[in-house]
Each structure stands twice: as structure tokens, then as C-alpha cells.
Amino acid sequence: MQRHDIIVIGASMGGVEALTALVRQLPGDLAACVLLVLHVPAQHRSYLPEILTRSGPLPAHHPQDGEGLEPGRIYVAPNDRHLLVEPGRVRVMKGPKENGHRPAVDPLFRSAASAHGPRVVGVVLTGALDCGTGGLLAVKREGGLAVVQDPRDALCPDMPRSAMEFVAVDHCVPLEGMGALLTRLVATPAAPRSRKRSRQVETEVKAMKVDIPSMDDPPSPLEYAKPSYYGCPDCGGVLFELEEDGLLRFRCRTGHAYTAEALSGSQQNQLDGAMWAALRALEESASLSRRLAMQARQRSHEHSALRFDERARTAEAQVQLLRQAVLAAPPSGVASAESRLPDEPKQLS
């Protein structure tokens, strides 16, 4: 009899504290393997396995590509690599970034759902923006269970709140009770897997396993997409739209993927950088024009001096306008946490 023996967990802002508290609650004889992604900078080594091993009874480690899955172990995505799941083993790959992250939560969730279907329990913890929502949709589509941390209990409620908005979540619990919930879910039978599987989930998983796709063989998720008006923030290519249960997502031919919210945040970051670059260029132009005007007067070229004076005044006026716009712009890349909580899903009895 199949059980819920594959637990996938995603976290971002506030994730170290949340994961530490969660693994402390898990029993040492947990009859499931735990795979998790915490968003970490690519250039920094992650010490999360050591932290989690000290915090609870289950050993945690960064797996090697192709390593087998064993119950009672925690598999932590290393920095700058996606952690993916295949039947009975993990893959550690440098595929395209998703929502600007590698490792990313959604590829782990989708690959686990594709490989193990109803045996999977997807868990979304604290974090910013809406990472994990698309992956949790895939878990549910393949017959698995969806669990989220109660947003009111999360340091950053955006990720669990987004999951509750788009996914028919099975359980929403505070972090304090999540270990007991997962332990009970592991002991319950999993439903038989349906013969009808989501081809879109499978093809998106394949796309993440290709480091640099050929133009002659683009990632197959584009079969289900239509071109958008937007460019990819990572490579500049055309983004294609995919809509899944109301969640709008984008993917380019190279394989970079974004939710609409993450794309908006990335565009805001690009705009912020462009505005500061334009401000610097205008200030330099004004300074150079003043210098050229002074040199022209020293040579008694008053006509040229007046022309450079006018150019400097124009640039200085533009500097003032642009500086006001830059300083008035909202913070970039951070979603608002003020939206209304969705209706609460059912609790485990």
C-alpha cells in the first residue's frame, strides 16, 4: 500500500528559523524522505544541512546528482543548483532559473509530483512573493496533498497566502503543529495514481533538466503557451504565457520561468537600475557641458559657450525631474503583504 512518503518543502524569507522549528518536531523514525528548497544566493555556500542536523533527529545533507531516495533523511538543495526528483532518486542540476532563483521551489514540487504523484506532500512555508504556488498546483493535480503554514504565523506571509489563493489547500496550520500533522499524513495511505497524468507538468520538468536548450528543440511547455508582449529579464528572449487555474506564468525558450508577480518585481528592479543609470548619465552630461562652456569662453567662443550652457541647463533640469521620480518610486521586488487572507481550508481532524 502506497503512503505519503515524499515530503517536499519550500521556504524563502524567514525560512531558516521555520525549517529549524519544523525538523525539530519530526520523529527520528519518520517513514518518509524530506526534500527542501530554501532560496539562497548563488555565490554563498549553504550551511543549512549542518543547521538542520543539529536541530532535529533526522540527518540532512546536500545530495549528489543521481543519489537514491531513502526514508528518514533530509535532502537540501545546494546553492546555484535545482533539486529535482525522479522515481527513486534525486537530480541536482544547473537548469534555467525560475522566478530569478536557483534553487527554486516550484521545480522541486513539479518534479516530485510528476515522479511520485499521490505519494507527495507539498509544504509551503514563510516567504516573499508567490514562489511555490505553481509547484503546489502540480502536486494537487497529480493527486498529492497540499499543506501551508498559516500566513498569520509566518514571518513573511506572501508565499503561503498566494498558495491559499490559487490552490485547494488540504491543511493550513501554524508551524508549531506542522510536525505532528506531517507525521500523521505519512502514516495515512495514499490514493492510487490516476492513469491520466498532466503532460504539462511532465514537460515543464523536462525543461528544467536542460541547461541550454537548442532553438530547434525548445522546452516543450511552450506547446501550451502563447507569445506575450514581454521580454525575459534573464536573457531578453520572448516570454510565453501559461495560465494554470488562474495563476498566470511565463517561460522563455531558454527555460527561464516567472509568475506574473515575480516578473513584475524583476521588471521593477530593471527599471530602478535603468533610472539610476540615466540619472548618472545626465549628471555627467551636465558636468561635461559646463566644462566645455568654460573652455569655449576662455577661447572667446561665446556662441559655443552659450550652446553648451543651454545643454547643461537642459540636463540639470532633467536630473531634477528624474531624481524626484527615482526617490518617489516604491520599493522594488517586494510584494505587498496587506491583501486579504483567503477563506481557511479544512484542518486535519
Q: Where are the domains of the chain?
A: 6-186, 211-262, 265-328
**Cα separation of 336 and 264, whole Å?**
12
Superfamily of domain 6-186, CATH level 4: Methylesterase CheB, C-terminal domain (3.40.50.180)
Kind and range of the H or E run holding 265: helix 260-298
Q: What is the pLDDT of residues 256-277, one digit of tens each?
A: 899 988 898 888 888 888 888 8
**Cα separation of 336 and 330, whole Å?**
11
**Cα separation of 88 and 325, whole Å?**
54
Residue 78 CA to its chain's centroid (Å): 15
Instruction: Give the chain's count of helices (H) and strands (E).
Output: 9, 13
Q: What is the pLDDT of residues 111-165, one digit of tens each?
A: 999 999 999 999 999 999 999 999 999 999 999 999 999 999 999 999 999 999 9
| Number of CB atoms found within 10 A of residue 159's CB | 31
Beta-carbon contacts of 307 under 8 Å, excluding residues fewer than 6 positions away, are none
Q: Buried b vs exposed e over 208-232: b needs ≥16 C-beta within 10 Å? A: bbbeebeeeebbbbbebbeebebeb
Positions in the chain whose pLDDT score sits under 50: 212-213, 215, 218-219, 334-349
Q: Identify the burial level of 70 via C-beta atoms within 10 angstroms of its C-beta, where 0-12 means exposed, 13-18 middle and 19 or more buried.
A: exposed
- Check residue 223 and give its pLDDT: 65
- Check residue 219 and give its pLDDT: 47
Residue with cell 524522505: 33
For the entire predicted model, the pTM comes to 0.80
Angle between helices 48-55 and 15-25 (to 10 degrees): 40
**Cα separation of 313 and 132, whole Å?**
50
- Check residue 335 and give its pLDDT: 40
Angle between helices 15-25 and 178-186 (to 10 degrees): 50
**Cα separation of 257 and 249, whole Å?**
7
Using the Cα atoms of residue 83, residue 4, residue 195 and residue 170 in order, give the sign of their dihedral.
negative
